[in-house]
Chains A and B, each alone.
Chain A
């Protein structure tokens, strides 16, 4: 395989940006949907009434992570067909577990005595959730979101295989035409996306947490 600098730079600057934008969508849309699903579900699972369902629900999230996204797309092909929708769907399922798992861990890690004192002071269940449990578990929850971001950034490359677009299109073109420039450029941009998103989320998380509680 040969390497031409001109082609590499051309790929990086001219060819990639629209794909990178698509890729960003393939990461962010599933992430937001996964958060909207996994976070409230995990919060519910720590409430007294729903604790008994924890194992069953988490088994579902585990499954979402174990089944390869391509297999998910294959299974749902009859309903969703090919293109962006099944790619977003598969990636959403893939992103659920770290968020749900870390939300559970974060909420369970809230010190007992803090909850006991909060209840003894007369906080309602809602006040306790909003003012004590969620703020205290935020660093752990955000760590889960960051894991999901990194995982999804990499996996989203497979979206191209089913016509979902993204940086995968560049990489697979490089593989098909034996072009190292395309493969490396594509990979670099994916890595950059993962790192930038991770940094943004870290900043966000730090804004929500007092300095001594960062992880």
Chain B
């Protein structure tokens, strides 16, 4: 039990660290982080002419 829980936590931390490194080394000017939620992420600017495809999800 102890080994399983510790392995899970280490896996979470390592995955987080790799993801952070990946985001930081990406050439994109600004990268966004979205919340863990079932709601879609509004990644377009608010004045998007297509309303970010809202209503077609």
- A associates with B: no
